[in-house]
Amino acid sequence: MELLKSLFMVTSVGILLGAGLPALFSLSIHFLSPGPDGTSPSGGKKAIGWLFLAIVGIAVIAALLLIARERIEYFTGWDPYPFL
């Protein structure tokens, strides 16, 4: 049972990061793009687009910090993920 639980967790995170982040990025571009007549998107669409883009940006920065964690700690003494 523990194996199935672990398999489910790994699969769900893989689906979330593998399909969820690109989907959020494409939705942000969709919400930020002008309408068919060339008008600027409304305030609500623009806010949702920037929110989705910020989530994707934070995820990318967090992943880069995780990848370069040891190098950052070696050169600066700062550990971006002290709980790992």
Whether the Cβ atoms of residue 48 and residue 31 lie closer than 8 Å to each other = yes
CB contact set of 73 (below 8 Å; sequence gap of 6+): 79, 80
Amino acid identity of residue 33, one-letter, is S
| Residue 72 scores a pLDDT above 90 | yes
The pLDDT assigned to 17 comes to: 83
Report the distance separating Cα 17 and Cα 2, nearest Å.
23
pLDDT at 65: 95
Structure tokens at 30: 């969709």
The answer on pLDDT for 78 being more than 90 is yes
**Residue 39 to residue 54: CA distance in whole angstroms:** 23
